Amino acid sequence: MRLLSKALVGLALVCSSALSFAQSAEADYPNRPIKWIVPYPPGGTTDLLARLMATWLSDRLKQQVIVDNKPGGGNNIGTELAIKSPPDGYTIFLVNPANAINATLYKNLTFNFLNDLQPIAGIIRVPNVLTVRKDFPAKTVPEFIAYAKANPGKVNMASSGSGTSVHLSGELFKSMTGIDMKHIPYKGAGPATTDLLGGQVDLIFDNMPSIISHIRAGSVRALGVTTAQPSPALPGIPAIAETVPGYEASAWFGAAAPKGTPAYAINRINREINAALADPGMREKLANLGGVPIPGTPEQFWAIHKMETEKWAKVVLSSGAKAE
Residue 303 lies in a domain: yes
Q: Does some domain include residue 11?
A: no
Where on the phi/psi map is residue 226: left (φ > 0), alpha (ψ -120 to 50), or beta? alpha
Lowest-pLDDT range of 36-45, 79-88, 234-243 = 36-45
| Coil, helix or strand at residue 183 | strand
Q: What is the mean pLDDT of residues 129-152?
A: 97
Cα 111 to Cα 259: distance, rounded to the nearest angstrom:
12
Q: What is the pTM assigned to this prediction?
A: 0.80
Question: What is the full DSSP assignment across 52-94?
Answer: HHHHHHHHHHTS-EEEEE---GGGHHHHHHHHTS-SSSSEEEE
* Last residue of one domain, picked from the residues 206, 224, 242: 242
Residue 313: pLDDT over 70: yes
CA atoms of 323 and 34, how far apart (whole Å): 32
Enumerate residues 6+ apart whose C-beta is below 8 A from 235: none
pLDDT at 9: 58
Answer whether residue 276 is part of any domain: yes
pLDDT at 194: 95
Bridge-based pairing state of the strands 65-69 and 34-38: parallel
Residues 226-252 have a mean pLDDT of 93
Structural domain count, the chain: 2
Give the model's confidence band at 68: pLDDT under 50 very low, under 70 low, under 90 confident, else very high: very high
221 with 283, same domain? no
Stated as kind and residue range, the H or E segment containing 176 is helix 165-177
Is 7 domain-assigned?
no
Q: Are 324 and 185 in contact (CB under 8 A)?
A: yes
> What is residue 221's three-state secondary structure?
strand
- Report the CATH number that the domain containing residue 173 is assigned in CATH: 3.40.190.10
Q: Which pLDDT does position 39 carry in this prediction?
A: 93
When pLDDT is averaged across residues 48-75 and rounded to a whole number, the result is 94
Query: What length does the chain have?
Result: 324
Beta-bridged to residue 133, according to DSSP, are 220
Of 224, 242, 260, which one is at a domain's C-terminal end?
242
Cα Rg of the chain, angstroms: 22
Residue 230 sits in which domain range? 127-242
Q: Which residues pair with 92 in a beta bridge?
A: 36
Name the pLDDT band for 315 (thresholds 50, 70, 90): confident
Residues 100 and 171 grouped into a single domain: no
